Amino acid sequence: MAELAVIGAGYVGLTSAACLARLGNSVVCVDNDPSKVDYLLAGEVGIAEPGLPELVREGLSSGKLTFTTSLDPLRGIGMVMLCLPTPMAADGHADLSVLESVLGSLGDLLGRDGVVVLKSTVPVGTAERAAELLCRADVQVVGNPEFLREGFAVEDFLHPDRIVVGAADQEAGDRVAALYASTGAPVLRTDPASAELAKYASNAFLAMKVSYVNVLAELCERLGAEVAEVAAVMGLDDRIGPAFLSPGPGWGGSCLPKDTSALLRTAEHAGIDFAMLRDAVRANARQQAVIVRKIRCAVTGSASGSLAGARIGLLGLTFKAGTGDLRHSPALAIADELARAGAVLTGYDPGVTGRDKVGPVTVAGDPTLVAKEADAIVVLTEWPEFRDLDWAQLAAVAARPVLVDTRNLLDARALAGTPFLRTGVGTGKPGEPHPR
């Protein structure tokens, strides 16, 4: 079993560190946020990932996992895995400044024949650039992109669809592949550039799939078709598959927006016109306006009616269900747009606690408070528990029984016996509940 350091204790770093400790490795996890490290050393995990707190506590008590803010304990170490942020820079590229600054410090610390593993999502050429920054002929850089989803981080790490190891050096690649041997997942050995590109290619493809179904949903509305039925037919084709065919308020989160943007910049730089990806990004930006128009119609009866003073209750604020992450949440982009139009917003999200306000939204601790005196309720995130709310009670406290279901979450059964008039997405029959 290896002794390794993981740098960055966020969604990817903390999950990787805790899971690699579970797989028997000795892991020191470094983060430059002292309060996060103190919290972690006390066995507390600040992100909502099923199974992660248990794994962190298990690692701490077995001694396989420890946390620190300092790079000093890494002196002489054989392997360092970088799980640092690579956010969108102002020009749309991936901002590698944090990664590069840490790489600049690692050259002096790594032991002989050390390996640096790039788990962050990084553009093609980063492994090569990292090797330059390390300035150590004996140290190898290996690309090992991560594909976990928020809300399923531990499950995805321990049971991945595939492991990608992009190494120019066979032995360094073997050492990284060995970390995952006990997961039984297929390991794809590639050159570093292919590993780097494969990560962006996967996220961009997922984004295009959702944009495709969102535009299809608009078409369904125009033509009187049901997007759920169209998607069900498409999804049963093995070549297409049923995942990522649910229309909604657009794709968001900490990865798809920045990664599509970075891939577009990479393509531009390489002289390739990636028009279909550009269109998918444009369609996604437009999707929020599509939803706001839908809400405006439902509340005022007209696409140009005024929302000034309208009380709108929002169910769901996070970018998807199963996470507390609000980064690049389409729900918040819609909230901002509604607030600009003068609407007064109250919101509830099971993943958002301990906050009074998120952007323009006053956060309530209970869905009933969101419905209270509301001119409309809008479902923005697909939390399954919203199906089981007491919709009759929500209707009783609302000013008007208007419901906009941007995730097509609620079916006729959930709303049976209530006066709610539901507007879904791509249903072709606005104002009518439809079976999912």
Ligand X SMILES: O=c1ccn([C@@H]2O[C@H](COP(=O)(O)OP(=O)(O)O[C@H]3O[C@H](CO)[C@@H](O)[C@H](O)[C@H]3O)[C@@H](O)[C@H]2O)c(=O)[nH]1
Ligand Y SMILES: NC(=O)c1ccc[n+]([C@@H]2O[C@H](COP(=O)([O-])OP(=O)(O)OC[C@H]3O[C@@H](n4cnc5c(N)ncnc54)[C@H](O)[C@@H]3O)[C@@H](O)[C@H]2O)c1
Residues tagged in the binding site annotation: 31, 36, 86, 121, 147-150, 199, 244-248, 252, 258, 320, 327
Q: Is 326 in the site for ligand Y (CB under 6 A)?
A: no
Q: Of 255 and 376, which has the nearer Cβ to ligand X?
A: 255
With CB under 6 A as the contact rule, the residue among 12, 141, 380, 394 that binds ligand Y is: 12
Helix pair 192-223, 256-269: axis angle to 10 deg = 110
| Binding-site residue positions for substrate | 147-150, 199, 244-248, 252, 320
Q: Is 260 in the site for ligand Y (CB under 6 A)?
A: no
With CB under 6 A as the contact rule, the residue among 255, 277, 280, 425 that binds ligand Y is: 255
Shortest distance in whole angstroms from residue 93 CB to ligand X? 16
| Contact partner at residue 298 from ligand Y, ligand X, none, CB < 5 to 8 Å by partner kind | none
Q: Is 147 in the site for ligand X (CB under 6 A)?
A: yes
**Selected range binding ligand X among 67-75, 140-148, 264-272, 278-286, rule: CB under 6 A:** 140-148
- Altogether, the residues listed in the chain come to a count of 436
| Contact partner at residue 427 from ligand Y, ligand X, none, CB < 5 to 8 Å by partner kind | none
**Selected range binding ligand X among 44-52, 90-98, 203-211, 426-434, rule: CB under 6 A:** 203-211
With CB under 6 A as the contact rule, the residue among 10, 248, 313, 401 that binds ligand Y is: 10
Shortest distance in whole angstroms from residue 120 CB to ligand Y? 3
Q: Is 85 in the site for ligand Y (CB under 6 A)?
A: yes
Q: Is 206 in the site for ligand X (CB under 6 A)?
A: yes
| Chain-centroid distance, C-alpha 312 | 26
Tokens at 275, concatenated: 């028009």
| Chain-centroid distance, C-alpha 265 | 21
Angle formed at CA 26 by CA 22 and CA 29, multiple of 5 degrees: 90
Residues of this chain, 114-133, that bind ligand Y according to CB under 6 A: 120-121
Total binding residues for ligand X by CB under 6 A?
Answer: 20
C-alpha 116/C-alpha 138 separation (Å) is 11
Instruction: Decide if 29 is catalytic.
Output: no
x-or-dash string of contact with ligand X, 223-252, rule CB under 6 A: ---------------------xxx-x--xx
Contact yes or no for 426/218 (Cβ under 8 A): yes
Shortest distance in whole angstroms from residue 265 CB to ligand X? 17
With CB under 6 A as the contact rule, the residue among 31, 150, 196, 405 that binds ligand X is: 150
| Binding-site residue positions for NAD(+) | 31, 36, 86, 121, 150, 258, 327
Residues of this chain, 114-133, that bind ligand X according to CB under 6 A: 121
Shortest distance in whole angstroms from residue 304 CB to ligand Y? 39
| Contact partner at residue 83 from ligand X, ligand Y, none, CB < 5 to 8 Å by partner kind | ligand Y
Residues of this chain, 309-348, that bind ligand X according to CB under 6 A: 319-320
Which amino acids are annotated catalytic? 255
Q: Interface residues with ligand Y (CB under 6 A)? A: 7-13, 30-33, 36, 83-86, 98, 102, 120-121, 146, 148, 150, 254-255
